[in-house]
Amino acid sequence: QLQLVESGGGLVQPGGSLRLSCAASGFAFGDYDMSWVRQAPGKGPEWVSSINTGGGSAFYADSVKGRFVMSRDNAKNMLYLQMNSLKPEDTAVYYCASVGDPIMAVTTRGSWGQGTQVTVSS
């Protein structure tokens, strides 16, 4: 059964860093482009970043470009999001998704994991 389990969220001060992880199982992880999506309270989902199957190419939303780095380890079926220089606006539930297209990532909730909460506050 397809399963995506996010972890690594928590409370961090503005300017701090967090590393999110997503453990994948039940499908051929290495054959899928992957994405990170986030959703703040009272707001719709926002695409954050995507990465290709091999992990050699990643791209990012303008709001996180230069601060976040996405990576993957196909041998371990793991997806990562290194978040640096965090801002209060980054506060959201973060989901990994088994699609790479930004539009499909935010509209296909069935491709998401259960999410992990990130709170950026002083």
Between 24-38, 48-62, 102-116, the lowest mean confidence (pLDDT) is in: 102-116
Q: Look up residue 56 and give its DSSP letter.
A: S
Sign of CA dihedral 114, 111, 107, 47: positive
pLDDT digits (tens, 9 = 90+) for 64-81: 999 999 999 999 999 999
pLDDT digits (tens, 9 = 90+) for 44-60: 999 999 999 999 999 99
**Using CA atoms, how far apart are residues 44 and 117, in angstroms rounded to an integer?**
15
